[in-house]
Amino acid sequence: MTTIMTDGLTADAVARIRQDFPVLDQLVNGRPLVYLDNAATTQKPRAVIDAISNYYLHNNSNVHRGVHTLSQRATDDFEAGREAIRRFINAPDAGEVIYVRGATEGLNLVANSYGRKYFKAGDEVIITGMEHHSNIVPWQILGQEIGIRLRVIPFNDDGELLMDEYERMLNDRTRLVSVVHQSNALGTVNPIETIAELAHARGVPVMVDAAQSIPHMPVDVQALGADFLTFSGHKMYGPTGIGILWGRADLLNDMPPYQSGGEMIRSVTFEETTYNVLPHKFEAGTPDIAGAIGLGAAVEYLEAIGMARISAYERALMRYGAERLSGIEGVRLIGTAAERGGILSFYMESAHAHDIGTILDAEGIAVRTGHHCAQPVMARYEVPATVRASLSFYNTTDEIDALIKGIDRVIEVFG
């Protein structure tokens, strides 16, 4: 090992953690797998896999509707997952924690329910220039239908928001500020507390896309000053198909349902339907029960390691990687904000990102190449695509060294 990581987690602790992730222990193209695509999705610890198997092996049943024992067990575990999430994000009440499919659905829910109820032509929604497409397109669709206007906070060359511009953008027409907490393309961690303070001074609520922050740092909805916050289970060591929308109860209570059908009703006649209480009003149909139980297990796994330690370790690893990458001639780091998480996005003039990704894959190294569902970020830096290595607490300095060696190989091939 080149450097001993002293921040957050020791090398021994990381070695033990790696044993919790069966998938990491394999050869890919004859080389030990180096998994550096954690921003796309993280690997799953055995605790999560076991929780899902346990549900299907012993408790499989629908939730909330049955009086029989299996249904009660399934309901208890499903609701325990919700309570684990509530604790994890410090939400005041578990009723505010709504199971959705992921961050994409969380954003669409707020756009379609909150937006359709409260926005009218000429109103403005503020986002940042570094949003994932899922925090751009739902507002654009509303724009076409209702006539709202999207305002975009620009950022500097390092990938830091221009907060003066943001302050100037807030006005009497602003109805919502919807911002990414940590950028998936740049790694920038945005100052949500300040963004929220300024918005709240004008009575404007704030939606936070926490898809990339929740797996990597402590996220406290009350400390952030968020009004809505969403994230995906699969990026935080849980299963795919499940995620969370958290919202303030007073806002959620006043919003119309997003989808309708079973579970979200209190009573139905052909003349009239009344809706269920939170969170059920927003959970139409049979939910992803196994997913919710797996997500609860993921939260417990993360809590056992500790989010502050995870954050310190991953940032130290990122700094090590950034230093090594910037030492290579021809490599341009994209995203150099002072406040940033474990994302190493880079561009090489000499080789296309996809070719770099293919060469790295031959070495057993998994990175993501492309626009990372953030095409406006690529446009801002005038690059077609980047290579993105995204880190987890199970990654090591040895793996960063393997990445650097892989890039040396790219330079051998492409010059």
Backbone angles phi and psi of 182, in degrees to 5: -125, 125
Which part of the chain contacts ligand PMP (CB under 6 A), choosing from 72-80, 97-105, 316-324, 381-389? 97-105
Residue 104 in the binding site for ligand PMP (CB under 6 A): yes
Q: Does 14 bind ligand PMP (CB under 6 A)?
A: no
The answer to whether residue 252 forms part of the interface with ligand PMP (CB under 6 A) is no
Least spacing, CB of residue 139 vs ligand PMP, in Å: 13
Q: For the CB of residue 87, give the shortest distance to ligand PMP in the complex, in Å.
A: 22
| CB 243 to ligand PMP: min, Å | 6
Residue with tokens 């979200």: 264
* DSSP code of residue 327: T
Q: Which two tokens stand for residue 386?
A: 């980047």
DSSP 286: S
Q: Which of 134, 188, 276, 386 binds ligand PMP (CB under 6 A)?
A: 134
Give me the helix-helix angle, 307-326 and 397-414, nearest 10°. Answer: 30
R_g over Cα of the chain: 22
Catalytic residue among 162, 366, 373, 411: 373
Under DSSP, the state recorded for 313 is H
373 is catalytic: yes
Size of the site for ligand PMP (CB under 6 A): 12
User: For the chain, what is the largest distance between any 2 Cα atoms, rounded to a whole number of angstroms?
Assistant: 73
**Of 170 and 211, CB closest to ligand PMP:** 211
DSSP string, 225-260: T-SEEEEEGGGGTS-TT-EEEEE-HHHHHTSPPSS-
**Non-local CB neighbours of 237 within 8 Å, separated by 6+ positions:** 42, 43, 44, 45, 48, 215, 298, 301, 302
What are the two backbone dihedrals, phi and then psi, of residue 20, each rounded to the nearest 5 degrees?
Answer: -75, -10
User: From CA 251, how far away is CA 78, in angstroms rounded?
Assistant: 24
Cis peptide before 376 (omega within 30 of 0): no
**Measured between alpha carbons, how far is 228 from 206 in angstroms, rounded to an integer?**
6
Q: Does residue 341 touch ligand PMP according to CB under 6 A?
A: no
Q: Is 102 in the site for ligand PMP (CB under 6 A)?
A: yes
Instruction: Supply the minimum distance, in Å, between the C-beta of residue 405 and ligand PMP.
Output: 27
Does 38 interact with ligand PMP (rule: CB under 6 A)? Answer: no
Pattern 210-239, binding to ligand PMP, x per CB under 6 A?
Answer: -xx-------------------x-------
Report how far apart, in Å, the C-alpha atoms of 42 and of each of 24, 165, 411 are: 11, 35, 29
Q: Which residues from 363-382 bind ligand PMP, rule CB under 6 A?
A: 373
Considering the rule CB under 6 A, would residue 345 count as an interface residue with ligand PMP? no
209 contacts ligand PMP (rule: CB under 6 A): yes
- Smaller CB separation from ligand PMP, 39 or 293: 39
Minimum separation from the CB atom of position 165 to ligand PMP (A): 21
Any idea which residues carry the catalytic annotation?
Answer: 373
Report the interface residues with ligand PMP, using CB under 6 A. Answer: 102-104, 132, 134, 180, 184, 209, 211-212, 232, 373
